[in-house]
Amino acid sequence: MTPGKFITFEGGEGSGKSTQARLLAERLRGLGHDVVVTREPGGTPFAEQVRQLLLAPDTAPHGPVSEALMFYAARADHLEKVIRPALAAGRWVICDRFSDSTDVYQSHAGGLDRAMFDMLEHAIVAATRPSLTLVIDIDARLGQERATARRGSASRGSDSAAADAYERRDIVYHETLRRGFLAIAEAEPQRCLVIDGAKPIDNVAAAVWAGVSERFGADTGAAAPRTD
């Protein structure tokens, strides 16, 4: 057991994971906590380079085995250099996607052999499993609409507006992903909490905070609600 708290956000494209990871970190910092916000693939210079390789549309698609090996190579570096040191130092770690994304994208939707996923997870993640996973669930079409709208505004202000290798896949694929995340949450209710991501941002943030407060109780440092 490490003294820190490990929280992951999972869900489909455009579900609002990054927005909610940022808002949760702000709230925890406001209570005086030391919080690391990170993401996968990414979180270290090496893992960010792997991210570029994996998301580049011109070299996609890749087979599920090569994808899984790349995601776990990035994850091994991320765990070693960022996540485990932060948890050992008692910090809160909030990660935008983690192993459940490999389970869903490469195994559930991509056909990666279950034994290979389990082997990689056991060898690389081992005991560093999240204490809480917030699955932000939305209709696949709504997620795609949000991602498309965001790309539209990004194209007016940055150079990263093209759809990546995963975003380019069709709606049936994105619906399969949604079912994959919900299946994990159903199988592991003690770790996972499903949040309705179709609601306005503040409502989703309130549901996230309710889940975090319930899971970590007094460790959040928030005053208990008055009952009088």
Residues that bind ligand Z5A (CB under 6 A): 11, 13-19, 40-41, 71, 96-97, 101-102, 105-106, 146-147, 150, 166-167, 197, 200-201, 204
Q: Which is nearer to ligand Z5A, 204 or 228 (CB)?
A: 204
Q: How far is the CB of 27 from ligand Z5A (least distance, A)?
A: 16
Q: How far is the CB of 143 from ligand Z5A (least distance, A)?
A: 7
Q: How far is the CB of 97 from ligand Z5A (least distance, A)?
A: 4
Q: Which is nearer to ligand Z5A, 18 or 131 (CB)?
A: 18
Q: Which is nearer to ligand Z5A, 26 or 34 (CB)?
A: 26
Q: How far is the CB of 13 from ligand Z5A (least distance, A)?
A: 4
Q: Which is nearer to ligand Z5A, 40 or 77 (CB)?
A: 40
HEC string for the chain? CCCCEEEEEEECCCCCHHHHHHHHHHHHHHCCCCEEEEECCCCCHHHHHHHHHHHCHHHCCCCHHHHHHHHHHHHHHHHHHHHHHHHHCCCEEEEECCHHHHHHHHHHCCCCCHHHHHHHHHHHHCCCCCCEEEEEECCHHHHHHHHHHHHHHHCCCCCCCCCCCCCCCCHHHHHHHHHHHHHHHHHCCCCEEEEECCCCHHHHHHHHHHHHHHHHHHHHCCCCCCCC
Q: How far is the CB of 209 from ligand Z5A (least distance, A)?
A: 14
Q: Which is nearer to ligand Z5A, 122 or 217 (CB)?
A: 122
